[in-house]
Amino acid sequence: MGKRPILVTIISALLLLNGILTIVNTLRFDANPTFLGLGAFAVILSLGLWQLWSWAWWGTILLQLVALGFAFYDWFTGGPIDYLAIFIGVGVILYMLQAGTRAAFSLVGEPAEARE
């Protein structure tokens, strides 16, 4: 496990906050249970990012793609456009795809056998 980049630490903390707020708001306002699962997923991912576990890297990419899907769905169906969610989602994905970030999660530089 490498040294955790500062932006990974920030993304981890923001995912934790977002996950907790999503869970609380879903329970408080009796929202779609799908959001409860996404909130729990965000909390689990934040812990994985903190530990630099490779599955958390993949999960963060997946969660950001889902968030972008919701944002673009709203955009194309005439709902309110969440430009901030789009900006953050694209930014996180682009950052997570950087070689240095992938290296911190041991996703580059090792033989495939060593990662299994």
Pull the structure tokens for residue 102.
């992938």
Domains in the chain, number: 1
Q: Is 48 among the domain residues?
A: yes
Q: What is the pLDDT of residue 34?
A: 87
Distance separating alpha carbons of residues 74 and 52, to the nearest angstrom: 32
Distance separating alpha carbons of residues 27 and 21, to the nearest angstrom: 10
Residues 73-98: pLDDT tens digits? 998 998 888 899 899 999 999 999 99
Q: Is 70 among the domain residues?
A: yes
Q: Is 1 among the domain residues?
A: no
Q: Is 84 among the domain residues?
A: yes
Q: Is 49 among the domain residues?
A: yes
Domain encompassing residue 95: 6-115
Residue found under tokens 């630490």: 9
**What would the 3-class secondary structure string for 73-114 be?**
HHHHCCCCCCHHHHHHHHHHHHHHCCHHHHHHCCCCCCCHHH
pTM: 0.82
